[in-house]
Amino acid sequence: MPTDIPVVDLVLRADPELLAIVRLSLAVSLAAVACAAALALPLGALVALTRFPGRDATIVALNTLMGLPPVVVGLAIYLLLSRSGPLGDFGLLFTPQAMVIAQAVLVAPIIAALTRQTIEDLWLEYCDELAAMHVAPVQRVRTLLWDARFSLLTALLAGFGRASAEVGAVIIVGGNIEGHTRTMTTAIALETSKGDLPLAIGLGLVLMAIVVLVNALAWGARRAGERLAG
Amino acid sequence: MSSHAARITPARMSLLAVLAVCLVAWPAAGEDRSIVVASTTSTQDSGLFRHILPLFKAKSGIEVRVVAQGTGQALDTGRRGDADVVFVHARALEERFVADGFGVQRHPVMYNDFVLIGPKQDPAGARGTSIAAALQAIKATRASFISRGDRSGTHAAELRLWAMAGIDIARGKGPWYKDIGQGMGAALNAAAAIGAYVLADRGTWISFRNRGELAILVEGDARLINQYGVILVNPAKHPHVKKEWGQAFIDWLISAEGQKAIAGYRIDGQQPFFPNATRPGG
Amino acid sequence: MMRAPGSDLPIELADARYHVRGSVILDGISLVLGEGPPTVLIGPNGSGKTTLLRMLMGLIAPTDGAVTWGGRRNAPPVRRAIVFQRPVMLRRSVSANLVYALSSAGVARAARPRRVAELLELVGLLALAARPARGLSGGEQQRLALARALARDPQVLFLDEPTASLDPAATKAIEDLIRTVAERGIKVVMSTHDLGEARRLAGEILLLHRGRIVERGPAEAFFAAPRTDEGRRFLAGELLI
């Protein structure tokens, strides 16, 4: 990316390097949310609906893990994925996949904790009706997840916000390799450390614009959905 | 009827998730022609790689992925086997790396030089041709000095220079000596912000834009030479290392063609790196 | 018409008790409910009507004593259904709510659209099929809840004060539906606050007071001449403490 051209011009003429960075940022964060959701939505619903020994401790743990520091997650995943680490044979370090894994780990507790709260509240409302309709436990989970979809979308957006904003995890496991693992946040960190503050700020504004766009789209989808199905 | 909203089934959402992961996975799927080179932030920030790597790729078809860290961290990355090649500028550490069996052989590649940066008004009176005299003046006047403090090659060089100037900096430092633990750009930013002295590599300085009142105060002293070496990570310790491609990169760097590419790199019309693979003493 | 193996009738309670945290809600109820005209539970607040209905439905288990359906102790509620006083609509359309009820009752996918249309027609909500169920008025939601219950093709239909929160027009609509359902041979067991409604719908009256059945008998006979003192006082509008 040329450093002596204002970011606005880079955006307007669709600078290929900037586009590649934006594309990677979105792909990594969205994939991380998708992977985290696949695990965290059922997990959160399960904790909400079942009674088991240690349930309270589990809930406290989930809520606490929402505040996992990204650098700590990055470091832990780095040590796992390093060639000298237990999962080194997969050769995942310094790849976009490692970044997805790290962000998924970071974001999963947020989605799980918010899902648990949402589903538990909804279960209070629904339990009589679902029991009366003799709905099987697995089906109950699916019904609650679906009926809570708009609140759960908010949980997913919270996860996406956390993922797209963080730099500590992706820079450690990704290595900020130009053209390969450089995202918006790592690029901003790099330009800041190089002293190119105008470019860093410009990139920051581009990142914010993208996040606003994603949230606006999600809100629009929610409104459309609400109108259709209530 | 009204089941349209229900079409966004969990099944379809999982499919979307899979697609999302594939989107990310697709560029790096399979055993692509690439190597990971652990190098330093100052080398990366100078823009050298952006200049020479496309030339190497055009010739060999191998994509070089540079992970830029401090020298200490880069050598650690090599020790762990997370890189195929290490390309840093800290001779003593590099030789120990090879001696410990983590690297195959050290090849000198090029050198650049350090410069002493400081406020134009030069309150310590450091300006001149001797780095030793400058450092002594800074300590005597207790002028603010920024140290990188991050186990980088530049930091190692800084510590060597204090020692060579006859100063035991570990004991002699005071509040004037600011150890920030960050990269070259951040150190220069800090120096510009508070009007302090800092040791920088010329390449980063040339492309640094936030200069404020800073200027070069000492340059050209023979002791400010900064030698680079490149090492293949030892496949005996880490069998997965891509040794053919890694060696191809090293061979190219020290070949006439690679050396010419290095010499041909300019920042603002100045040449920051000087190839010296064939000259002993590097 | 699907017939599950075994019938849920007669429902038999044998000296069933229910207490929660020390307070007794049902204090030894023995009764047998079989086919026939609607059975209506009446009684003051706190007499245990809701708890009794939920126990008969199988939502709660007695803390003492037993409840059996067609002689079976743990019969899952396949041929029973209940309409709560404040029904909860699923966050989807009216017809999707019915599809859900049909699917959880095991109705084959191919048969669902026809059944949905039939049920919506029966309860008079056909025009609102595509609307979000939560946007319906109280009376409309109650009718939908009734349709959901009927989707299970029940032998027994329980209703817990179904018209308590409805205006007179909606109340009439519900009462008419209950009458239709009863005429189709479904056993209706409901509770009500409204003695007028009890008069209109009941074939049999059960008077509850402090967790016990105080009087039971054919509705006409009860309203003409209650046999017990509580029955007389309750009909006269007195507060039974």
**pLDDT tens, residue by residue, B197-241:** 999 988 888 878 788 899 999 998 889 998 999 999 999 999 999
pLDDT of residue A3: 66
**Span A131-155, average pLDDT:** 90
Q: Which residue of A has its CA nearest to C55?
A: A132
Judge whether residue B30 has pLDDT over 70.
no
Judge whether residue B26 has pLDDT over 70.
no
pLDDT in tens, C154-187: 999 999 999 998 999 999 999 999 999 999 999 9
Listed as own residue / partner, the contacts of A225-229 with beta carbons closer than 8 Å and 24 or more positions apart are A225/A149, A225/A150, A225/B5, A226/A150, A226/C132, A228/B2, A228/B4, A228/B5, A228/C93, A228/C132, A229/B2, A229/B5, A229/B6, A229/C91, A229/C92, A229/C93, A229/C96, A229/C132
CA atoms within 13 A on the CB side of B47: 21
Residue recorded with tokens 């509850």: C208
Judge whether residue A144 has pLDDT over 60.
yes
% of chain A exceeding 90 in pLDDT: 65
Could you give the CA distance from residue C47 to residue C207 in angstroms, rounded to a whole number? 9
Judge whether residue B22 has pLDDT over 80.
no
Could you give the CA distance from residue A218 to residue B9 in angstroms, rounded to a whole number? 17
Domain boundaries, chain B: 32-112+226-275, 113-224
Could you give the CA distance from residue C174 to residue B28 in angstroms, rounded to a whole number? 64
Whether residues A83 and B238 touch (CB distance < 8 A) is answered with yes
Could you give the CA distance from residue B167 to residue B158 in angstroms, rounded to a whole number? 12
For chain C, say whether A139 makes contact (Cβ under 8 Å): yes
pLDDT of residue B16: 62
Q: Nearest-CA distance from A24 to chain B in Å?
A: 7
Whether residues A196 and B209 touch (CB distance < 8 A) is answered with yes
For chain A, say whether C199 makes contact (Cβ under 8 Å): no
Residue recorded with tokens 């994603």: A214
**Given A132, A147, A149, which is nearest C81 (Cβ)?**
A132
Residues of chain C with pLDDT under 50: 1-4
For chain B, say whether A31 makes contact (Cβ under 8 Å): yes
Q: Selecting from 3.30.470.160, 3.40.50.300, 3.40.50.2000, 3.60.21.10, what CATH number does the domain C11-235 have?
A: 3.40.50.300
Judge whether residue B6 has pLDDT over 60.
no
- Non-local (6+) Cβ contacts of B205 within 8 A are B115, B117, B188, B216
Could you give the CA distance from residue C105 to residue C79 in angstroms, rounded to a whole number? 9
Listed as own residue / partner, the contacts of A129-132 with beta carbons closer than 8 Å and 24 or more positions apart are A129/C84, A129/C87, A129/C88, A131/C59, A132/C57, A132/C59, A132/C77, A132/C81, A132/C82, A132/C84, A132/C149
**Given A38, A84, A100, which is nearest B81 (Cβ)?**
A84
For chain C, say whether B6 makes contact (Cβ under 8 Å): yes
Instruction: Show the domain range for A86.
Output: 7-229
For chain A, positions 155-184, list CB contacts with chain B under 8 A.
Answer: 175-180
| CATH number at B32-112+226-275 | 3.40.190.10
**Does residue A1 belong to any structural domain of this protein?**
no
B113-224 matches B32-112+226-275 in CATH topology: yes
User: Residue B18: pLDDT band by 50, 70, 90 thresholds?
Assistant: low
Instruction: Domain B113-224: state its class.
Output: alpha beta
Contacts of B14 in chain A (CB under 8 A): 38
pLDDT of residue B29: 43
**Of the listed ranges A74-88, A189-203, B73-87, C161-175, the one predicted with least confidence:** A189-203
> What's the total number of domains in chain A?
1
For chain A, say whether C84 makes contact (Cβ under 8 Å): yes
pLDDT of residue C2: 47
- Non-local (6+) Cβ contacts of B55 within 8 A are B257, B261
Helix (H/G/I), strand (E/B), else coil: C43:
coil
Q: Which CA distances in Å does C129 have to C107, C122, C176?
A: 19, 13, 21
Q: What is the mean pLDDT of chain A?
A: 90
For chain A, say whether C225 makes contact (Cβ under 8 Å): no
Query: The tokens of B280 are what?
Result: 């002993």
Whether residues B2 and C96 touch (CB distance < 8 A) is answered with yes
Whether residues C92 and B1 touch (CB distance < 8 A) is answered with no
Q: Tell how strand C39-42 and strand C187-191 pair up.
A: parallel
For chain B, say whether C155 makes contact (Cβ under 8 Å): no
- Name the nearest CA neighbour of A204 among A179, A157, A167: A167
Whether residues C129 and B3 touch (CB distance < 8 A) is answered with no
Could you give the CA distance from residue C241 to residue C238 in angstroms, rounded to a whole number? 9
**Does residue A63 belong to any structural domain of this protein?**
yes
**Span A80-98, average pLDDT:** 93
**Span A40-52, average pLDDT:** 92
**Span B146-169, average pLDDT:** 89
Q: Which CA distances in Å does A133 have to A129, C104, C106?
A: 6, 7, 11
- The DSSP call for residue C38 is P
B12 CA to centre of own chain: 46
E strand map for C104-211: 156-160, 187-191, 204-209
Judge whether residue B5 has pLDDT over 70.
no
Q: Tell how strand B225-233 and strand C156-160 pair up.
A: unpaired
Domain boundaries, chain C: 11-235
Contacts of A135 in chain C (CB under 8 A): 104
Judge whether residue B278 has pLDDT over 90.
no
Q: Which residue of C has its CA nearest to B1?
A: C130
- Non-local (6+) Cβ contacts of C132 within 8 A are A226, A228, A229, A230, C91, C92, C93, C94
**Given A38, A96, A197, which is nearest B28 (Cβ)?**
A96
CA atoms within 13 A on the CB side of B227: 18
Judge whether residue B7 has pLDDT over 60.
no
Judge whether residue B106 has pLDDT over 90.
yes
User: Residue A9: pLDDT band by 50, 70, 90 thresholds?
Assistant: confident
A136 exposed, middle or buried (CB, 10 Å; 0-12, 13-18, 19+)?
Answer: exposed
ipTM of the complex: 0.85
% of chain A exceeding 70 in pLDDT: 97
Cis link prior to C226 (omega < 30° from 0)?
no
Could you give the CA distance from residue B199 to residue B116 in angstroms, rounded to a whole number? 5
CA atoms within 13 A on the CB side of A93: 31
- Non-local (6+) Cβ contacts of A26 within 8 A are A164, A210, A214
Could you give the CA distance from residue A194 to residue A200 in angstroms, rounded to a whole number? 10
